[in-house]
Structure 1
Amino acid sequence: MQLTETENQAYFDKHKAREKACAAWLKQQGKAVRKPVLLAAAAGIANGLGVIGQSAALAFILQAVIIDKLPWTSLITPFMVLAAVFILRSVCVYLHQTWGFEAGAQVRASVRQRLFDRFLTLGPAAIKQRQSGELAAVTLEQVDALENYFSRYLPQQMIVGVLPLIMIGVVMPVNWVVGLIFLVTGPLVPVFMALVGMGAASANRSQFLAMARMSGYFLDRLQGLETLKLFGQATRELTNINKIADGFREKTMAVLRIAFLSSAILEFFSAVAVALVAVYVGLGLLGLVHFGPAEQISLGESLFVLLLAPEFFMPLRQLAINYHDRAAALGAADAILAILEQDAEASSDSDCTLVPKLQLGNPEGEALGNRSCVALPPASMQVAASRDGKLELLSPSSQAGVWELANLIEFNNVSKSYGKRQVLTGINLRIAAGEKIALVGESGAGKTTLLNLLLGFEASTEGRVLLNGLPVNRECAAKAIAWVGQNAYIFHGTIKDNIALTDPDASEQRVIDAAQAAGVTEFSAQLPEGLLTPIGERGYGLSGGQVQRIALARVFLKNADIILLDEPTANLDAANKALLLDVIDRLFADKTLIIASHDPDVIQRMNRRIALQQGRLVS
C-alpha cells in the first residue's frame, strides 16, 4: 500500500518499529562494505594520532624558541618530525576519503542492482501501478542519499569511539584538569546531537516523499504535454507544478533548519569547552589559579593541551554533521524498502526445461540452433517430429498410426482479481499449436489481463495457466512467447538497434532479413541513413504503422513459437491497417498467433474466435 505524505508521517510517529527496521537494513548493508569502512576509520584514527604528534612538536618548538632560547640548529629534528607528520596526515586524509567513497559506491551499486532485480521480479503489471518518475527518484536520488551514511557516518562513528579516548589518555598525565574538562564536556556533544536530530529523520522522510511525488507528477505532465496544450490546461498545470515545487522547497528548508540548529548548538558547547581550557591554562601561566597542576604548568604543556582542545571536539562535531547523513539514509531506506518489500504475485517455480526441435528424418534429434527450443512437456506426453520440422506434443491417448496434437496453451479454471474487483472468472481454454486466435470483447472484458497471465506478468488468483503442460512462469514465457503490446515502445537509437532489441547478438544479415520481412525497409530506404537512421524516444518522427512494423520485426527476429499481439491495428488508417495485417499473415503463418482486437478485419482473418464478456468466456 502506498501512503500519502500525511499518512506516512503519522505511520512513523506511531510505529517506531519501522524506523528500527530501516536502521537494521542499513546495518545489514554495512556488513558487505565492512572492510572499506574499517580502512576509512583506521585512516581517520591515524590522522587523529598525527594531530597529537603535530601538537606536541609545535609545543616543543615554541617552548624551545621562546622560553629555553635554544639555537635553531638544535630544532632541525623537531621540524623534520613536524614535516613528516604533515605528510602523514595528508596521506591519511586522502585514504579516509578514498576508502569512504569506495564503501558508498559499493552500497549504491548493490542497492541499485537489487532494485532493478526487484523491478524484474514484480513485472510490468506491478510496475505500471506506480509513477515512473517516483521509481526513477528512488533509484537515483534516494539511493545516492545512502552514500554519505556509509562513506562518512559509519567511519566517523568508529573514529569517535576511539580517538577522543586516546586524546584524554594522552592529556591526563600532562594536565588532569584539562582531561576532566574533556571527559565531562565531550559526551554533551553526542547527547545534544541525538536530541536535536530526533526530528531530522522525520523531516528527511517528508522531503524524500515530496521529491518522489514531484518527480512523478512532473514526468507525467511532461509526457502528456501535448494533451494538456490541446485542452488549454498547460498554464494551470504549470501553476500546480509551482505549488508542488514550493512544497518541496519548504520541506528542504525544514531539513536545513534542523541542520543549522544542531550545528549552532554543537559549536556552542565545543566553544565553551575550548574556552574553559584556554581560561584555565592562561590563568595558570599568569599565576592566578592555584588549583591542580596550574602552578607548575609550562608554556609547552599549555600550548600542547590548548592545541589539542579544538581537535578533541573535531571528531565529535564531524559526527554531529554526519548525523544528518544518517537521518537522510533512514528516510531513503524507507522508500527503498517500500519497493524491495513489495509482494510480487506468486508465480510457478517450475523449471523451464528446453529441448531442441526435431527434424523429420533426423532421429538423433540434432539441435537446429538457439532458435529451435520449446518448453519440455510432462513425461506423460510423447514427442514426435512434424513434417515442417516443428516439435509436436502427442497425448498419451494416441494410438498407433493416429497422432493427436497436444494443447500448447491451457487455462484451467483460471480466475483473476485485484482486491475485491474480479477481472476474470472461471476461464477454461485450450489452444493448440499453429492456431490463429482472435481474442475479442469490450474494453475491460479482461483481454489484456488474460494475455498478462499467459506472459507470466501476473499470476492467477485461482486455477492454473499451462504452457506445453507446465505452469507458466516468466522465464518460460520469455523463451516461448513474443509479444507486442498496444503501444510498442521505441527507444532512442537507430531503427536497427530497436529491431535487434530481442537479440542483441543477432548478425547484421538477420536484422536486415527481419526488417525486410516486416516491411521496415519499405520506409527506411527513403530515410537518410536507412536502418541506421536515429529515431526519437517513443518513435518520434515515425508514423503509428511504421512503429508497429518495427515491433513486428523484433518479434520475427526472436522467432518464438507463440505470438501475442494486443490491438496491433489501433489508431491506423485503412491503408496502413491492410498493409500491417498482410505483414502479420506473412510473418506468422506457421506460428501460434493470438491477437486481442476489436477490429472486424483482424477477427475475419483469424480461424478461431474467443470472446470474453465481463471476465467470462462466452465463446
Structure 2
Amino acid sequence: MATPRNAGGGRDVRRWLNALAARERRFSSLAVVAGVIVTLATLGQLGLLARVISQLLVEQATPASQLPALTAMVGLLLVRAMALYWQERLGQLASLNIRSRVRGELLDHLARLGPGWLTGRHSGALASQLVEQVEALDGYFARYRPQLALCVLSPLLVLGVALWLDWLAALFLVLAAPLIPLFMALVGMGAERLNREQFEAVARLSGHFIDRVRAITTLQLFGRSQGAIAEVHAAADDYRRRSMRTLRIAFLSSAVLEFFASVAIAVVAIYVGFGLLGYITYGPSPDLTLFSGLLVLLLAPEFFQPLRTLAQHYHDRAAALGAADGLLAILEADPDPVRGAEAPPTQAPDALLELQGACVTQPGRGRTLGPLDLCLMPGEVVALTGSSGSGKSTLLQLLAGFVGPGRGERRLADGTFFAWMDQRPLLIRGSLADNLRLAAPEASDHAMREALGKAGLGERVEGLPEGLETFIGERGVGLSGGQAQRLALARVFLSRAPLVLLDEPTASLDAETEALVIVALRALMEEGRTLVIATHHPALIAMASRRLVIEAGTVTEVVHG
C-alpha cells in the first residue's frame, strides 16, 4: 500500500485519513444526510413551539386549538430520534469498515516485512498499535468527520431561518461564529503532539509489562520482583500524567467554545428583549413580535449546537492524528525488495531449492552471508555448523525466504513449501489441538494423535485427563522445554512440508529429551523429508548426508557424509 508523504518527505497523516474516509464516502454521506434531517426536524419543532406560545399568550387561543401543532411536534420528535439513531449507526458502519480495512492492510504489510523485520520490534508494542491505535480511529470516522460537515450545513440552515426572521440577530450570530473554531484550533494545536506521545507511552508500557510478566520467575529467583513492580508502576504513572494532559486540552477546548457561545447567545437575548420592549429601533427590531423574537432566541443555541458537538469530538481528531502517525510508520517500513520475489523454477527438475551466488546484507553491518551456491535435493539432510554468530540462522532465514539475497538468486521449485522450527517454538494460549492445527487447520483427531506419537508425545497426551483438549499457556506454559519441542515437531509431521528448517532443535534440552527429539527427527528422515539443521550436536551432525561449516558468513568447508 502506498502511503502519503508531504512535500518535506514526512508522513502526511491527514491525507492518509482523507483517503481512508473516501473509501467509505457512501456511509459517511448518509450519516450527514441523517444529521441534516435532525436539524430540519429541530427547526420545525422550535417553529411550532414558538407559534404555540405566541398563539396562547398574544392571541389568547385555547389550548385545545393547539392540539394539531402539539401532535406535529411529537411527530417531529420521533423523526428526530430516528434520524439521530441512523446518523450514529451509519457513522459506526463507516468507521468499522475503515478500521477493518486498516487492520487488514497492517497485517498484510507485516507479513510482507517478514520475521526478519519483526524480530527487531517488540510484540507488545506492535499489539498495542494493531489494537489500540487502530481503535483510536473510531471516533474520528464515526463522529468527527460527519460532524465536521454538519457544523457547516446545520448552522447555515439555522442562519437562513434567523435571517428570514431578523437580519440583525443573524448578524450577531455570524460575527460570533468564526471566533469559536479559531480558538478551538489555537487550543488544539498541541493536542496532536500530546496524543502521539500518549500512544508511544502506552506502546512502551505494553512492552515493558509483557517483558516483566515473561521474566517473573527469573526476577523472583534473583529477588528483583519488587524493583520490577516499581518500574511498571513508574511507567504506568508516566502514562497517567500524559493522559491527564491530553484530557486537560480536551476540556479546555470545550470551555473556550462554551464561553463564546454563551456570550453570543446572551447578546442575542439582550437584543430580542430590548427590541420587544421598544428600546432598540434600528433595522428590523421595531418589527419584532413574540413569535419572531422567541424563535430567534430558541434558534441561537441551535446555531452553536453543531459546533458544541464538534468540540466534544475534537479530541477524537487529535487522537486519530496521533495514532495515524504510528500506523503509517509501520506501513512506510520497506520490506526487503527481493524477499519472496522468487526467480523462475530451478532448472534441476528434482531440486527443492537452489541458491546461486546468494549474498545477504544488513544495514550497518554490510555483507553477513555469502556468496553461496547451494542445491537442496529431496530426502537429504544438511547440517549447518559453526560458531555462534557465524551466519547459520541467517542462512536458514535466506532458505525460508524471510530475507532476500542482496545479490544472486534464490530459486524455489514449484509447489515447494517448508516447515520451520527453532529452539523456542511458537506456542499459543489454547489447547494442544489448537496448537497442532496451526500447521494443519483441518487435521482430524486421529491425524493429530498419530503426529504426536511420531514426535514421542503420544503416550504422554493419552495419559492426560483431557487429552488433546488439555490447555497450555502462551509460549508453552504447562509444558517442559522438551515437550514444547516435541509438540512443535508434531506440527511438522502434520504439515507434510517437503522441506524442514530447524534452528538448534536440541539446544537447552537434557540428555533424555535430546534423545527423544533426535528419534523424532529420524522419523522425519524416514518420511523422505529434506532437513536443514543448524546445530552443534554431534548426533545431529552424524545424521547429515552433508555438512556445511560456516564461519563469518562464508562457507569454508563442505563435508559429505
Structures share fold, TM-score greater than 0.5: yes
1:562-582, CA deviations, whole angstroms, 9 ceiling, x for partnerless residues? 111111111111112112211
In the alignment, does 2:346 pair up with 1:409?
A: no
Give the deviation of 1:137 after TM superposition.
0.8
Match 2:212 to one of 207, 216, 221: 221
Equivalent position of 1:151 in the other structure: 142
Note the C-alpha offset of 1:20: 6.9
Show the 5 A alignment for 1:341-420.
341-347=332-338, 377-378=345-346, 381=348, 393=349, 407-420=351-364
Match of 2:488 in 1: 551
Residue 338 of structure 1 and its aligned partner are, at CA, apart by 0.5
For residues 122-172 of structure 1, give each alpha carbon's deviation from its aligned partner in whole angstroms, at most 9, with x where no partner exists. Answer: 111211211111101111111111111111111111112211111111111
Q: Does 1:500 align with 2:437?
A: yes
Is 1:615 the counterpart of 2:559 in the alignment? no
Contiguous gaps of at least 5 residues in structure 1: 1-11, 353-375, 382-392, 394-405, 471-475
Between the aligned partners of 2:398 and 2:381, the Cα distance in structure 1 is 19
- Match of 1:502, SS state, is coil
Question: Which of 283, 286, 295 is the aligned partner of 2:286?
Answer: 295
For each residue in 1:67-98, what CA deviation from the matched residue of structure 2 results, as whole angstroms up to 9, or x when unmatched? 11111221111111111111111111111111
- Amino acid in the other structure paired with 1:452: Q
Match of 2:389 in 1: 444
- Asked whether the 8 Å contact 2:384–2:533 carries over to 1, the reply is yes
Percent identity between the two aligned chains: 42
Aligned partner of 2:24 among 25, 30, 33: 33
- 2:379 is the counterpart of 1:434: yes
Q: Where does the alignment leave 5 or more consecutive residues of structure 2 unmatched?
A: none
Shift of 1:208: 1.2
In structure 2, distance between residues paired with 1:72 and 1:459? 84
Q: What amino acid is the match of 1:442?
A: S
Secondary structure, counterpart of 1:332 in structure 2: helix
In 2, the alpha carbon distance for the partners of 1:303 and 1:537 equals 66
State the 1:605 CA deviation. 2.4
Q: Which amino acid aligns with 1:618?
A: T
| RMSD (CA atoms) | 2.0
Moved more, 216-225 or 423-432: 423-432
Structure 2 counterpart of 1:335: 326
The one-letter amino acid paired with 1:574 is A
Q: How many angstroms apart in 1 are the aligned matches of 2:257 and 2:468?
A: 64
Matched, 1:237 2:181: no
Aligned pairs (5 A) from 1:82-481 = 82-347=73-338, 377-378=345-346, 381=348, 393=349, 407-421=351-365, 422-468=367-413, 479-481=416-418
1:451, 1:564 within 8 Å by CA — same for their partners in 2? yes
2:329 counterpart SS class? helix
- Give the match's secondary structure for 1:488: coil
User: Does structure 1 conserve the Cα–Cα contact (< 8 Å) formed by 2:339 and 2:401?
Assistant: no
Distance, in Å, in 2 between the alignment partners of 1:567 and 1:25 is 44
Residues 118 and 311 of structure 1: is their aligned pair in 2 closer, same or farther, counting only changes over 3 Å?
same
Contact 2:52–2:69 (8 Å) recurs in 1: yes
Contact 2:355 2:409 in 1 (8 A): yes
Q: Deviations over 1:426-464 (max 9, x none)?
A: 223333322211111111111111101111111122222
Query: Is 1:605 the counterpart of 2:549 in the alignment?
Result: no
What secondary structure sits across from 1:459 in the alignment? coil
Q: How many angstroms does 1:300 deviate by?
A: 1.3
Question: Which amino acid is 1:617 matched to?
Answer: V
Please report how far the alpha carbon of residue 601 of structure 1 lies from its aligned counterpart in structure 2 after TM superposition.
2.1
Equivalent residue pairs, number:
551
Separation (CA, whole Å) in 2 of partners of 1:19 and 1:315:
33
Residues of 2 paired with 1:56 and 1:218: CA distance?
A: 58
TM-score by length of 1: 0.86
How many Å apart are 1:42 and its aligned residue? 0.9
In the alignment, is the contact (CA less than 8 A) between 1:437 and 1:607 conserved in 2? yes
Moved more, 115-124 or 412-421: 412-421
Secondary structure of the structure 2 residue equivalent to 1:542: coil
Matched with 1:385 is none
Higher RCO, Cα 8 Å, sep 6+: 2
Question: Which string of whole-angstrom CA distances, capped at 9 and with x for unpartnered residues, describes residues 453-493 of structure 1?
Answer: 1111111222222233x8xxxxx6xx521121121122222
Alignment correspondent of 1:365: none
Indicate if the aligned counterparts of 2:356 and 2:410 stay in contact, CA closer than 8 A.
yes
Does 176-185 or 491-500 show the bigger shift? 491-500
C-alpha displacement of 1:591: 1.7
Alpha carbons 1:518, 1:587 under 8 Å: kept: no
Say whether residues 1:512 and 2:449 are aligned partners: yes
